[in-house]
Structure 1
Amino acid sequence: MVMRFGVVERVFYVYLFLFTLVALTSIALHWHVGLELIKQSIPKKATSPAVLTVFILMTLILLYSLNKGEIQLFTQFWLGGRFIVEILLVGTIFILSRSEKT
């Protein structure tokens, strides 16, 4: 008996394994970059494990205290504000680059 979709079934598990591997690598990379950004934005004396633990605890408390709607509302405000700030930043850099040429 020949299976009609035998190739698809076999390739699916390989694809699923590779996709999971890429997702876990991405998670590790983003956590590392976030940790390094936090370390660089805080003075050297304040980068003790206790300070990083406080940031982790604040994140977990907010994660469990906010519901899906509140997180989505905050995200909408954040992205809207970020869009405006990025437009202003690009405009400011453009104006400053034009003024230095003269």
Structure 2
Amino acid sequence: MSNEEEEEATVEKIEDAGHLEADVGARFDQQLSGIDPRLQIHMDPLSHRDLRPEMMFIREELRQAKGQTLAVRRTALKKLLLKDFMQEDCELRNIGLAYAPPDP
């Protein structure tokens, strides 16, 4: 497997993780927004079942997963930008138009 194929596979995995994370997060947000703020808990004990501690723990796990996914995306983007910059710099050096150093 070449580097290009590995990068493509990594990008696809990152996109799939992002879609799954967005779907699950959107479902939780939809459930939370569906709760009427005027509803009394003692009148309907199941009205706030989505705010139980186990559900909030799942939401925290989702936040952490999102942070990890963003970190992976940032790292992948940084690698791609650095690779692109190095390739461009090499091509410019070959024709004698390299970037000027910041402190001559």
TM-score (norm 1): 0.40
Larger relative contact order (C-alpha < 8 A, sep ≥ 6)? 2
- Structure whose residues are more often helix by fraction: 1
Q: What is the TM-score normalised by the length of structure 2?
A: 0.40
